[in-house]
Structure formats: structure tokens, C-alpha cells
Amino acid sequence: MSYGFLIEDFLRLHLFECSFNHVNGYKTHSKAAIEKMKLVQLIREFRAVYPKQPKFSDGLDKIRLIRNRLTHRLIDQFGSDVESEEGRDQIHALLLRTIFHMKHHFEALQRTHEAVVRIAIKDNWEALLARGDELFEARVSTSEIQSLLDDLDELAKA
């Protein structure tokens, strides 16, 4: 499941870099607008940047749907399956297949992002140095995990 959320955050970061560096002419949204986008919007924007990659974008959309269904309906869909060993094996197999696809898409997205950054550094390193970005912020304000991350940030400052 973590890959699904990692893909969402990485798509945000990648689209920000694409917008800043005008990859394939993309310069539509500001960093603030990209940070507020939901995963479905991020995937639409990815399609706009890479119109010749529809299969990959379709894969990202399928991952979004799987992630949402697993996150929100896990108990409803699998509740009775958890009671039997065969049901648990089927759930395990489903999750393994899901993780495989999420990992594959994340790694492909990571390679694409690295290529964008490499080209940006090569072609426009002075602008990148002058940019002075703050830490890319991804928050869930009421989350216990967010609270722990805030604590870690404070520890890192000390």
C-alpha cells in the first residue's frame, strides 16, 4: 500500500519539476496548485506532460483505483475471506500482485524524474541554484504519523 502513496507524492514532486523546467512545454500549474491536487488530477497532469505514454498513465490510474479500493473497502470486501486459510492465501496473492505493479510503476516514474533532473541540471544549472526551494511539504494535519514526522523535524533541528 505504501507504494501507492509514495507514487502520489512522487508524482507531485515530478510535476513540479516538469512545470519549473517546462518539460514538453508543460508550465501550467504552480507548486501550490500541484500540492493541492488529488491523485486523479496528478495523473491527468502527467498525461498532459507525456501524451505519448498513455499505457503508463493508464497503469497509474489503475494503481489509483486499486489503492482506493484496498484502503477504503478492505474489510467489506475481504472480511469473510480472512476467516479461512484459503481466503487469506488469496488476499496475500492479490496484495503481492498489487505491490509488484505499484513497484514497477514507481521505479519507472523514478527513472523519468531522474532524467528530467539530469537534463535540467545540464541545461540550466544556474537557474536551479538560484531557485532556492524549501523542503517539499506533504502533510496530513491530523495524522499520528504527521505528528511523529513533526517530532523528527524538531529533533533534526536540535
**Can you give the residue ranges of every domain in the chain?**
2-133
Average pLDDT over residues 78-99: 71
Contacts of 112 (CB under 8 A, 6+ apart): 14, 50
Which has the higher per-residue pLDDT, 95 or 109?
109
CB 133 within 8 A of CB 7: no
* 11-30: pLDDT as tens digits: 998 998 888 888 888 888 88
Angstrom CA distances, 7 to 23, 90, 99, stand at 19, 25, 12
The predicted pLDDT at position 131 comes to: 57
Average pLDDT over residues 96-113: 87
pLDDT band of residue 145 (cuts 50, 70, 90) is low
pLDDT band of residue 94 (cuts 50, 70, 90) is confident
Average pLDDT over residues 101-116: 88
